[in-house]
A and B are shown apart, each in its own frame.
Chain A
Amino acid sequence: MTPYIHVTNLSKTFKNTKALDEIDFTAYSGEMVALIGASGSGKSTLIRHIAGLMPGDKGHDCGTVEVFGKTMQANGRITRRVRHHRQHISVIFQQFNLVSRMSVLTNVLLGKLGRVPTWRGSLGLFTKAEKLEAMNALDRVGMAKYATQRASTLSGGQQQRVAIARALVQKSDVILADEPIASLDPESSRKVMETLARIHKEDGKTVVVSLHQVDFALKYCPRTLALKDGKKHYDGASKDLSIEFLQNLYGSSSLDMHIPVPLDVTAEETIVVESPDAVVNPGSGYSQEAEPAMGRA
Chain B
Amino acid sequence: MTTQTATEAHAPGNITELPPRDLKRSFGNIVMWGIFALLLAYSWEGADMRPWDLIEDGANMGSFAAGFFPPDFTEWRMYMDEMIITIQIAVWGTALSVVTAIPFGILSSENLAPAWVYQPVRRLMDAARAINEMVFAMLFVVAVGLGPFAGVLALWIHTTGILAKLFSEAVEAIDPHPVEGVRATGATQLQEVIYGVIPQVLPLWISYSLYRFESNVRSATVLGIVGAGGVGMLLWEYIRGFYYAETAALMIIIIVCVSILDMISQRLRKMVI
CB proximity of A51 to chain B, nearest CB, Å = 6
Closest 8 CB pairs of A and B: A114-B186, A97-B181, A87-B186, A86-B186, A91-B184, A113-B187, A101-B199, A97-B177
* Residue B120, interface by CB 8 Å: no
Closest to A95 in B: B177
A98 touching B199, Cβ below 8 Å:
no
Q: How far is the CA of A36 from the CA of B260 in the complex (A)?
A: 62
Interface residues as binary, B146-190 with A (CB distance below 8 Å gives 1, 0 otherwise): 000000000000000000000000000000011011111111101
Question: Which residues of A have CB within 8 Å of B232?
Answer: none
Count of B interface residues, CB-CB < 8 Å: 20
Q: Of B180, B188, B195, which one neighbours A110 at CB under 8 angstroms?
A: B195
B178 touching A122, Cβ below 8 Å:
no
Interface residues as binary, B240-258 with A (CB distance below 8 Å gives 1, 0 otherwise): 0000000000000000000
B183 touching A163, Cβ below 8 Å:
no
B182 touching A122, Cβ below 8 Å:
no
Question: Which residues of A have CB within 8 Å of B105?
Answer: none
Which A residues fall within an 8 A CB radius of B? Answer: 51, 53, 83-87, 89-91, 93, 95-102, 110-115, 118, 121-122, 124, 163, 166, 170
CB proximity of B196 to chain A, nearest CB, Å = 6
Question: Which residues of A have CB within 8 Å of B191?
Answer: 113, 118, 121-122
Question: Which residues of B have CB within 8 Å of A95?
Answer: 177
Q: Of B184, B199, B202, which one neighbours A86 at CB under 8 angstroms?
A: B184
Given contacts A100-B200, A111-B185, 11 further A-B contacts (CB under 8 A): A83-B187, A90-B184, A96-B177, A99-B195, A101-B203, A114-B185, A114-B186, A118-B190, A121-B191, A163-B181, A166-B185
Q: Of B183, B185, B190, which one neighbours A122 at CB under 8 angstroms?
A: B190
Q: Of B188, B190, B200, B203, which one neighbours A99 at CB under 8 angstroms?
A: B200
Summed over the interface, the residue pairs from A and B with CB atoms below 8 Å come to a total of 85
Q: How far is the CA of A100 from the CA of B200 in the complex (A)?
A: 8
Give the residue among A83, A86, A90, A100 with the most B Cβ atoms within 10 A.
A83
Question: Which residues of A have CB within 8 Å of B194?
Answer: 122, 124
Give the residue among A85, A122, A166 with the most B Cβ atoms within 10 A.
A122
Question: Which residues of B have CB within 8 Å of A98?
Answer: 178, 181
Interface residues as binary, B55-95 with A (CB distance below 8 Å gives 1, 0 otherwise): 00000000000000000000000000000000000000000
A102 touching B199, Cβ below 8 Å:
yes
Question: Which residues of A have CB within 8 Å of B182?
Answer: 97, 99, 110, 113
CB proximity of B191 to chain A, nearest CB, Å = 5
A115 touching B186, Cβ below 8 Å:
yes
CB proximity of B177 to chain A, nearest CB, Å = 4
**Can you give 23 A-B contacts (C-beta < 8 A)?**
A84-B186, A85-B186, A86-B186, A91-B181, A91-B184, A93-B180, A96-B177, A98-B178, A99-B182, A100-B178, A101-B200, A101-B202, A101-B203, A110-B181, A110-B195, A113-B182, A113-B185, A113-B187, A114-B186, A118-B190, A121-B187, A122-B191, A166-B181
Q: Of B183, B190, B203, which one neighbours A53 at CB under 8 angstroms?
A: B183
Q: Of A53, A84, A113, which one neighbours B195 at CB under 8 angstroms?
A: A113
CB proximity of B179 to chain A, nearest CB, Å = 8
B180 touching A86, Cβ below 8 Å:
no
Q: How far is the CA of A49 from the CA of B266 in the complex (A)?
A: 47
Question: Which residues of B have CB within 8 Å of A110?
Answer: 181-182, 185, 187, 195
Q: How far is the CA of A111 from the CA of B184 in the complex (A)?
A: 9
Question: Which residues of A have CB within 8 Å of B203?
Answer: 101
Q: How far is the CA of A96 from the CA of B191 in the complex (A)?
A: 19
Question: Which residues of B have CB within 8 Å of A85?
Answer: 186
A118 touching B181, Cβ below 8 Å:
no
CB proximity of A177 to chain B, nearest CB, Å = 11
B181 touching A87, Cβ below 8 Å:
no
Q: Of A83, A99, A114, A115, which one neighbours B181 at CB under 8 angstroms?
A: A99
Q: How far is the CA of A10 from the CA of B8 in the complex (A)?
A: 53
B185 touching A170, Cβ below 8 Å:
yes
Q: How far is the CA of A85 from the CA of B183 in the complex (A)?
A: 12
Closest to B183 in A: A53
CB proximity of B127 to chain A, nearest CB, Å = 31
A102 touching B195, Cβ below 8 Å:
yes
Contact A51:B184 (CB < 8 A) given known A98-B178, A100-B178: yes
Give the residue among B183, B186, B187, B202 with the most A Cβ atoms within 10 A.
B186
Q: Of A97, A102, A114, which one neighbours B187 at CB under 8 angstroms?
A: A114
Closest to A166 in B: B185
Q: How far is the CA of A96 from the CA of B199 in the complex (A)?
A: 16
Q: How far is the CA of A97 from the CA of B177 in the complex (A)?
A: 5
Q: How far is the CA of A124 from the CA of B182 in the complex (A)?
A: 13
Q: How far is the CA of A194 from the CA of B194 in the complex (A)?
A: 33
